[in-house]
């Protein structure tokens, strides 16, 4: 990752960077001052920065250069950042962080629903941004098959099998596939990770804090509200045919529906 790089790469240089060991960040941002802030925050960390100033250019560069992370401004001159995110998700599994204005709460939620992994609100500090990316990169791109911190996993044949079956809900952890009543459901990485976590200990109620720790990592600095947003999106996708699969335990957190545990 970044710390293995001998020297920070200069943004805009046609790098001699070894793609296998470096992290590239595509910054889609039309405001020059913000590009400077981002450049100052991230180039020290050794990330390879790529800049785009419009949604169209961002999409082109994402397709061409396959970045690991996309930092995506919501307000772009040619296209809404939400639309850019939606289109990015058609071909890339990169981590996407939406950059929103202070009063764009609604846009943040919409951003997460079209596949962004996180959001950060302007103004943000250089340190906050660098930390967000660092923590995000620590999340495995494919979830750990156990889906839960090791100390919480007891040997349990049902939940450790590669395919976990709960009534109509089937989760193939290794193949990264989810089916409901035989129909394949397309989930974002975070939605899949949340479901993997819940299904690792189906009898247990997961607190939001534990889900954050399991899915985002122990030093995640976002608030736990993000869990509710992703959980709502996950439910919209898997609760088809009138069946509910995830139970909200008021004041505590979430678990799989007992009724689904045949
Ligand atoms: Ca903007």
Contact status, residue 75 vs residue 58, Cβ threshold 8 Å: no
Cα dihedral 249, 254, 258, 262 in deg (nearest 10): 180
CA dist 133 to 20, 38, 49, 102, 220, Å? 18, 12, 13, 20, 10
User: What distance in angstroms lies between residue 111's CA and the mean position of ligand 1's atoms?
Assistant: 15
User: What distance in angstroms lies between residue 75's CA and the mean position of ligand 1's atoms?
Assistant: 4
User: What distance in angstroms lies between residue 239's CA and the mean position of ligand 1's atoms?
Assistant: 36
Q: What is the model's pLDDT at position 59? A: 95
User: What distance in angstroms lies between residue 66's CA and the mean position of ligand 1's atoms?
Assistant: 22
Domain boundaries, the chain: 24-137, 158-261
User: What distance in angstroms lies between residue 142's CA and the mean position of ligand 1's atoms?
Assistant: 32
Q: What is the model's pLDDT at position 21? A: 46
3-class DSSP state of 195: helix
Q: What is the model's pLDDT at position 149? A: 44
Sign of CA dihedral 9, 15, 19, 23: positive
Q: What is the model's pLDDT at position 2? A: 40
User: What distance in angstroms lies between residue 26's CA and the mean position of ligand 1's atoms?
Assistant: 15
CATH topology of domain 158-261: Arc Repressor Mutant, subunit A (1.10.10)
User: What distance in angstroms lies between residue 31's CA and the mean position of ligand 1's atoms?
Assistant: 5
Residues with CB under 5 A from ligand 1 (ion): 30-31, 73, 75
What's the token pair of residue 63? 């397709």
User: What distance in angstroms lies between residue 227's CA and the mean position of ligand 1's atoms?
Assistant: 27
Strand ranges for the chain from DSSP E: 24-28, 48-52, 69-73, 95-100, 118-121, 163-166, 169-172, 177-180, 183-185, 206-207, 246-249, 253-256
For the chain, 262 residues long, give each residue's pLDDT as a single digit of tens.
443 333 343 444 443 333 334 889 999 999 998 898 888 888 777 889 999 999 999 999 999 999 999 999 988 999 989 889 988 988 888 899 988 875 666 566 666 667 788 888 887 877 888 888 887 787 655 444 444 444 343 444 444 557 888 888 999 888 889 999 889 999 888 899 999 999 988 888 888 888 888 887 766 666 677 888 889 989 999 998 778 899 998 888 999 987 655 4
User: What distance in angstroms lies between residue 32's CA and the mean position of ligand 1's atoms?
Assistant: 9
Contact status, residue 159 vs residue 172, Cβ threshold 8 Å: no
The correct CATH number of 24-137 out of 3.40.50.2300, 3.40.50.300, 3.90.10.10, 3.20.20.70 is: 3.40.50.2300
User: What distance in angstroms lies between residue 194's CA and the mean position of ligand 1's atoms?
Assistant: 31
Q: What is the model's pLDDT at position 142? A: 42
User: What distance in angstroms lies between residue 63's CA and the mean position of ligand 1's atoms?
Assistant: 21
User: What distance in angstroms lies between residue 85's CA and the mean position of ligand 1's atoms?
Assistant: 14
Q: What is the model's pLDDT at position 11? A: 43
Q: Which residues contact 154 (CB under 8 A, 6 or more apart)?
A: none
Cis link prior to 123 (omega < 30° from 0)? yes
User: What distance in angstroms lies between residue 73's CA and the mean position of ligand 1's atoms?
Assistant: 6
Q: What is the model's pLDDT at position 1? A: 41
């Amino acid at each position: 990752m970044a710390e293995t790089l001998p020297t920070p790469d200069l943004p805009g240089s046609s790098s001699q960077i070894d793609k296998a060991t470096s992290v590239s960040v595509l910054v889609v941002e039309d405001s020059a001052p913000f590009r400077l802030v981002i450049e100052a925050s991230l180039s020290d960390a050794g990330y390879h920065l790529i800049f785009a100033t419009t949604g169209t250019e961002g999409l082109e560069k994402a397709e061409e250069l396959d970045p690991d992370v996309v930092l995506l401004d919501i307000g772009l001159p040619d296209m809404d950042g939400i639309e850019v995110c939606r289109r990015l998700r058609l071909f890339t599994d990169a981590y996407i962080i939406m950059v929103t204005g202070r009063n764009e709460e609604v846009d943040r939620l919409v951003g997460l629903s079209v596949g962004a992994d996180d959001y950060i609100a302007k103004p943000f500090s250089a340190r906050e941004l660098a930390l967000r990316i660092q923590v995000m990169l620590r999340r495995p791109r494919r979830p750990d098959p156990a889906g839960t911190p090791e100390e919480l996993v007891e040997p349990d044949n049902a939940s450790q099998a590669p395919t976990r079956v709960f009534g109509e809900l089937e989760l193939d952890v290794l193949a990264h596939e989810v089916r409901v009543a035989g129909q394949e459901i397309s989930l974002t990485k975070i939605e899949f990770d949340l479901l993997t976590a819940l299904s690792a200990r189906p009898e247990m109620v997961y607190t939001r804090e534990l889900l954050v720790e399991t899915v985002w990592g122990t030093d995640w600095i976002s608030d736990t509200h993000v869990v509710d947003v992703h959980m709502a999106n996950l439910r919209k996708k898997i609760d088809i045919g009138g069946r509910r699969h995830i139970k909200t335990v008021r004041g505590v957190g979430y678990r799989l529906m007992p009724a689904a545990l045949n």
